[in-house]
Chain A
Amino acid sequence: MDLYAENILDHYRSPRGKKLLKKPTIEHEEVNASCGDSLTLHLLIKEDTIERVGWDGTGCAISQAGMSLLTEELPNTSVEKAASLSPTFIRKLLGVPVSERRLKCALLPLLALRNALRTAKKQPLLTWPELLEEDNA
């Protein structure tokens, strides 16, 4: 199957939840310096559960559609579970083959989410090599 499958293009053309929240509990921006893609993620957390997600960003179809797809998954997910989402989860969510050259595009939404949750807990940020290592595991 092709990277630019209809589902990916649909989320790219009509991104879900692409609007920043008025009063987020957590906000975090993540960029992919190698291509200039950026995602700002807003999370509303209640009782250790993600209640609402809002985001804004610019970039390629893969990073933007990926963020849109992830946005649909997150409401009612516990913070603990969200913090443990893996690259494998993102690959399944995208449902298309992601080549090495597009891996960072595909994983940018996950890095944004994981680091948003880490920022809230004042934990050190996850780096690209650390995230890519998880993908190889």
Chain B
Amino acid sequence: MAFDIPHMRRQFPFFAANDSLIYLDSAATAQKPETVLAVMDDFYRKGNANVHRGMYELAERATALYEGAREAVRTFIRARHSDEIIFTKSTTESLNLVAKSWGKAHLRKGDVVVLSILEHHSVIVPWLQLKEETGITIEWIDCDDEGRLIMNDLKKVLAGKNVKLVAVSGQSNVLGVRPLVSEIIKLAHQSGALVCIDATQLIAHHPVDVTELDCDFLAFSGHKLYGPTGIGVLYAKREILKTMPPFLGGGSMIEEVRRDGFTPADPPHRFEAGTPPIAEAAGLTAAIDWLVQFPWKEIEEHEKKLMRAAFETLNGIEGLHILGPKNPDEASACVSFVLKDTHPHDLADILGQEGFCLRAGHHCAEPLHKRFSVPASLRLSVGIYNTEEEIHRLGPALKRAISLLKK
């Protein structure tokens, strides 16, 4: 499919309904193409039935739709087996599952979990909770002023022997930097530690091949991939999943329930208690099918142009400071910035009145903002559907907002 942005935008009902908006918040959630909406609507209108064990054709079709999504995700991230794909409600739940099932079962007081300073709260907090519960140790890998993780920090921590897991983002939701995950995985494995990748941001902007990466866990969600909210994915290696106890208890996750106990089902269903997000799974399949019609090379080239336009626009504004990368090619799909004497919330509010959708705050990455000594920042993030022209229009709007707030 040729890379034609106006043609592509016409496939998104959101843009037709909001033709005066400039949406620069895809890192928070991406817009959805018509095919995603249609398949979900169709399921509820015509095919609604619960999955698994329904002895009628409609239930079988719902099961096929749901299990088909597992296969679509497996192909998309190049996992070896579809039973390595677990559906959750969000990346957050996927990451909690790793800490609360694998972490709780395998880690003891004194074991070390390594986090990078780039991490989102959903990566950080579950391990801090486990620290409170069992006394594991958390070690942090810092970054330099351009957001590059300091690999020597990692090597030093790994030399300490007790490291059981390294949790790292594939692409920062604040700085847009992509840590060297392949290298991190190799180093961690040499020390016998597992690696959990938060691919929430990466997944819509770069091909992910879990087999080639050899990561042990990888999490992402549907709604940042042009799919629906309410569905998340956890990939984990088959042999690791086998060692993990259930996370939530309920229907679907059991093999047998007795008065005195239960036998859990095998993965992946062991980790999918309750009625799963069926319509959302269908929507996720549609989103993947929609995205893969475009070659990754073209997506990445287009988004690189957008980031160059963003840096050019932002660097043209006096008193504006970009957090992290100096080179736009190191910032994938998002860039965060601060302005001297001007609060990000005021700017985002005033820009919002002009139709620009940008996010202000700490973007669920408080340790990273503390690292850069700022309480909050303004973030510009892009999706496949944005244009350079939209980004260039932000420049004058930002200048108007700044002059309004000028002291």
Contacts and interface: CB of A to CB of B under 8 A. Distances in A.
Q: Report, nearest first, the 8 A-B pairs whose CB atoms are least far apart.
A: A36-B375, A60-B343, A60-B345, A13-B407, A60-B346, A61-B346, A36-B376, A35-B345
A105 B406 CA distance: 19
Chain A interface, DSSP helix/strand/loop, else mixed? mixed
A4 B343 contact: no
Interface residues of B, number: 16
B376 A3 contact: no
B226 to A, nearest CB: 25
B28 to A, nearest CB: 14
Contact of A61 (B343, B360, B362, B375): B343
B405 A9 contact: yes
A61 B376 contact: no
A35 B344 CA distance: 9
A99 to B, nearest CB: 8
Interface in B356-375: 360-362, 375
B273 to A, nearest CB: 30
B165 to A, nearest CB: 28
14 contacts: A4-B346, A4-B349, A4-B350, A4-B405, A35-B360, A35-B362, A36-B362, A37-B343, A58-B375, A59-B343, A60-B345, A60-B346, A101-B349, A105-B345
A34 interface: yes
Given A9-B405, A13-B407, A102 B349 contact: yes
Given A4-B404, A9-B404, A35 B349 contact: no
B366 to A, nearest CB: 9
Interface of B: 343-346, 349-350, 353, 360-362, 375-376, 404-407
A105 B404 CA distance: 18
B182 to A, nearest CB: 35
Given A12-B407, A61-B405, 19 more contacts: A4-B346, A4-B350, A4-B404, A9-B405, A12-B405, A34-B361, A35-B344, A35-B345, A35-B360, A36-B362, A36-B375, A37-B343, A59-B343, A60-B343, A60-B345, A62-B345, A101-B349, A102-B349, A105-B345
Residue of B343, B362, B405 with most partner-chain A CB within 10 A:
B343
Contacts of B376: 35-36
Interface in A2-18: 2-4, 9, 12-13
B375 A62 contact: no
Interface in A45-59: 58-59
Given A3-B349, A4-B350, A59-B343, A35 B407 contact: no
Contacts of A3: 349
A35 B375 contact: yes
Nearest to B374: A36
A57 to B, nearest CB: 11
A13 B404 CA distance: 10
Nearest to B345: A60
A12 B343 CA distance: 11
A130 B407 CA distance: 34
Contacts of A102: 345, 349
Contacts of A62: 345-346
A13 B346 CA distance: 13
A36 to B, nearest CB: 3
Contacts of B360: 35
A60 B350 CA distance: 12
Interface string A1-43: 0111000010011000000000000000000001111000000
A57 B68 CA distance: 55
A9 B350 CA distance: 13
A80 B353 CA distance: 39
Contacts of A105: 345
A60 B362 CA distance: 14
Contacts of A37: 343, 375
Nearest to B369: A36
A3 to B, nearest CB: 7
Interface string A79-109: 0000000000000000000000110010000
B283 to A, nearest CB: 28
Nearest to A59: B343
B130 to A, nearest CB: 23
A102 B360 CA distance: 12
A58 B407 CA distance: 14
Contacts of A4: 346, 349-350, 404-405
Nearest to B352: A101
A61 B404 CA distance: 11
A3 B375 CA distance: 23
Residue of B346, B350, B360, B361 with most partner-chain A CB within 10 A:
B346
A35 B375 CA distance: 7
Contacts of A9: 404-405
